[in-house]
Every structure is written in structure tokens, then in C-alpha cells.
Amino acid sequence: MSAGRASRVRFSVVMLLLVGLQFYVRPRLGNPHVAPDFLMLGLMIFAIRSRPGAAAFAGFLIGFASDALTPARFGAAMLANTLVGYAAAWGRAVFFADNLLVNAGFIAVGVWLRDLLVLMASGTGGKELAVQLGVWSPLMALSTAVAGIVVLTVFRDWLDIRLEE
């Protein structure tokens, strides 16, 4: 097996693991508004090592799955994840250093931004929007970032992501 193909297989294994965590482990982690969003984490990790177009498409697919499972405003998650995926891949290429904590912050901002876009597309406003973005979204962003640190540390070699020692 060539090195490139082996790398892709390893990366796919990690992505599948995150999907499994989302649907099998996340329901056991208590409050669904605070538990880490492993699909979003997968999108952010994918965006870190991919081109913007591919990251936007991955965001679209993950958004489609989210919309199918929560059709309160069908299309809102597709739009939000597409924008976040594209912006993450583009921003990563331009701005970010190969530092674990910076990557964790990057993941947290992605989750918060996704929530902001979904809520705005769903027509949520006023104090409810403020509470959601000021309390629940930061908590989920934080838990997802912590999960991101664990995944990036454990699977650093498999993900082919350069991190400073």
C-alpha cells in the first residue's frame, strides 16, 4: 500500500470513529446541549488538512445529515456547515499556527459560529438567541475543543497534522 493511500485509510478510520462517538457515545454524555459535537469536530479536523472546496462539501454533507435528523429548519445546518467548513479550511491555510491549543480554539470557534448561523437561519432572536449563544453554545464549543485536543493528541500521526512539540 502506498504511503498516500495508507494515510487516507488511517484518516478515514479516525473520521469513522468520530461518527461512532457521535451516535453511540454522545447520548451517554449527559446534557445534549453541552456534550461534544463529534461530527463538527470531524469537520474541523477535515478542514484543517483539506482544501476549502473539499471542506465546504464535507460541511454540506454533515449539514445534510444534521438537517435530516433535526428538521426544525431544513437547510440551516447545510448552509452553516458549508460556510464554516470553507472558512475553516481557508482560515487555517492563511492564519493559524501548528499549535495544539490554537487548534482547540479554532475548533471551539467553529462550533460557536455554526450555532450562530443555524440560529440566525432559523429565525431565533432576542434573549433566547443571547442565552443560546452566551451559555449553551460556548459550553458545547468548550467540550468539543477538549475532545479535539484528545483526538489530535492521540491520533496525531494518523491525521498527518503538524503540531508543535
Residues near other proteins (CB under 8 A): 19-20, 22-28, 31-33, 35, 37, 39-40, 51-54, 56-57, 59-60, 63-79, 82-83, 86, 115, 118-119, 121-128, 130-132, 136-137, 140
Q: Which residue is listed with cell 433566547?
A: 128
Q: Which residue is listed with cell 473520521?
A: 15
Minimum CB separation of residue 50 from other proteins in Å reads: 10
Instruction: Summarize the chain as % helix, strand, coil (round to 5).
Output: 80, 0, 20
Is residue 123 within 8 Å of residue 59, measured between CB atoms? no
CA distances in angstroms from 76 to 37, 58, 82, 120, listed in the order given: 17, 15, 10, 9
How far apart (Å, rounded) are the C-alpha atoms in residues 6 and 12? 10
Minimum CB separation of residue 92 from other proteins in Å reads: 13
Minimum CB separation of residue 124 from other proteins in Å reads: 8
- Please say which residue, 104 or 140, places its beta carbon nearer to other proteins: 140
Minimum CB separation of residue 164 from other proteins in Å reads: 26
- Please say which residue, 25 or 163, places its beta carbon nearer to other proteins: 25
- Please say which residue, 5 or 127, places its beta carbon nearer to other proteins: 127
- Please say which residue, 84 or 104, places its beta carbon nearer to other proteins: 84
DSSP 106-152: HHHHHHHHHHHHHHHHTT--HHHHHHIIIIIHHHHHHHHHHHHHHHH
How far apart (Å, rounded) are the C-alpha atoms in residues 147 and 70? 23
- Please say which residue, 1 or 94, places its beta carbon nearer to other proteins: 94
Minimum CB separation of residue 42 from other proteins in Å reads: 12
